């Protein structure tokens, strides 16, 4: 069974070119931000930052339908973190919506702090 292109790009470490998978107006619903992030460049920047913050990132389950669900495990600052990426893809194959959820709360809180610090570098979103 083929894997979702987003999963393949993340597993291959291709975060610098991941933006090509997104629509121009892609929407990212973050587990640690109140408002969604909108736009290819902004979402690609955030996905790249996640790759820097989370260590040992591993997708361990994929559920495919109209919307794909990619379950993952990683660590952040020594804490285990689990999450799920819900990915909606248009008919042309481009991702137009990405919703991310993570647990447990302690790891999610550390993740939020680390992401804020990573995104603050160079004035990123």
Q: Which CATH number fits domain 5-118: 3.40.50.300, 3.40.50.2300, 3.30.390.30, 3.10.450.50?
A: 3.10.450.50
SS3 category, 65 = coil
pTM of the predicted protein model: 0.91
pLDDT at position 101: 98
DSSP at 29: E
The helix, strand and coil proportions of the chain, stated in percent and rounded to the nearest 5, come to 40, 40, 25
Span 24-78, pLDDT tens digits: 999 999 998 889 999 999 999 999 999 999 999 999 999 998 799 999 999 999 9
Instruction: Return the percentage of the chain with pLDDT > 70, whole number.
Output: 96
């Amino acid at each position: 069974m083929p894997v979702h292109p987003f999963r393949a790009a993340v597993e291959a470490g291709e975060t610098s070119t991941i933006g090509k998978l997104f629509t121009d107006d892609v929407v990212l619903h973050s587990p640690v931000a109140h408002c969604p992030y909108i736009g290819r460049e902004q979402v690609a920047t955030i996905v790249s930052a996640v790759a820097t913050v989370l260590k040992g990132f591993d997708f361990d389950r994929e559920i495919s339908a109209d919307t794909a669900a990619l379950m993952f495990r990683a660590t952040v600052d020594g804490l285990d973190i689990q999450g799920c990426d819900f990915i909606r893809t248009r008919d042309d194959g481009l991702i137009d919506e990405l919703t991310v959820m993570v647990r447990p709360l302690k790891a999610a809180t550390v993740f939020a702090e680390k992401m804020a610090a990573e995104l603050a570098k160079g004035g990123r979103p």
